[in-house]
Amino acid sequence: MEREILTNSAKKALQRGERIIGTMSGTLGSPEAIQLFAVAGLDYVIIDSEHSPYDIMTLRRLVMTARLSGIVPLIRVPDCEYHFIARALDTGALGVMVPRVETRAAVERAVAAVKYPPVGERGCGGIDWQNDFIPTTVPDFIARSNEETMIIIQVETKPALERVDELVSVPGVDVALIGPVDFSISLGVAAQFRSEVFMKGVERVIGACQKAGIAAGLHTPDPEMLAYWADRGMRALTCSSDMTLLKNAVMDLGKKLKELKQRKPGA
């Protein structure tokens, strides 16, 4: 049976104006967790290399598991630098999320690092595993990569909010995603996600994205918060992370088992 190369179904869904749903792998480094995310029907998983303990081989194993499981693998890089972005993509990831972007020049650097010439400046390597070991030519590979690879910029600061129209208008950007904790801290309303300042800031990002024809996104462990903003135009919906999901499940189980432990025999 002829194998097909994994396509960026999440990016294509956004281009059709649809919503996409995903989560983050940030602590456990578990291929099994990636498989579960795929079985659960999530569109994508963001594998974190900004705040996580993951080394490059862990990133590659998780990306390969995602590709084989049919879920789109994205990597959050530590910073907007070529060596972080190019190396992340060389694992086979179908996109990157770039944190703390505040200027148009930074977004342009990110796009250049993601895209191969003539669109950008990315160097070519690791074609075999990036193409699922399916034979291809260099021209076909770079054309496909430029089309499939996804770019998410994070809006996390007040300066980014003030320049958001400039940031989202850079050609090649697919999503502007709000990191709500850092965003709220920078706005002077730390973790006050219902404050007027925070909510107006999010609304401004959504409006700028809609005007530019790209998707706005948010990462939060709170599904109700995601639902609220989805109803107001947000389309890239990232909920929770591997460790948070495990913690919540374990704490819930512990509570139920402690209640069971305290029940009188025969009750």
Each of the 267 residues of the chain gets a pLDDT tens digit; together they read 567 888 999 999 999 999 999 999 999 999 999 999 999 999 999 999 999 999 999 999 999 999 999 999 999 999 999 999 999 999 999 999 999 999 999 999 999 999 999 999 999 999 998 999 999 999 999 999 999 999 999 999 999 999 999 999 999 999 999 999 999 999 999 999 999 999 999 999 999 999 999 999 999 999 999 999 999 999 999 999 999 999 999 999 999 999 999 998 876
CA 247/CA 160 separation, integer angstroms: 32
β-partners of residue 155 are 178
* pTM, rounded to two decimals: 0.96
Q: What residues contact residue 246 under an 8 Å CB cut-off, 6+ apart?
A: 28
CATH 3.40.50.300 fits 9-243, yes or no: no
CA 136 remoteness from chain centre = 27
Question: Contact 116/144 with Cβ under 8 angstroms?
Answer: no
- Angle at alpha carbon of residue 5, lines to 69 and 136, rounded to 5°: 145
Q: What residues contact residue 242 under an 8 Å CB cut-off, 6+ apart?
A: 23, 24, 25, 26, 27, 28, 30, 33
Q: How many CB atoms lie within 10 A of CB 55?
A: 10
Sequence spans of domains, the chain = 9-243
pLDDT at residue 190, as a whole number: 98
Question: Contact 95/72 with Cβ under 8 angstroms?
Answer: yes
> Which tokens belong to 173?
């950007």
Amino acid identity of 215?
A: A
- Angle at alpha carbon of residue 175, lines to 173 and 176, rounded to 5°: 100
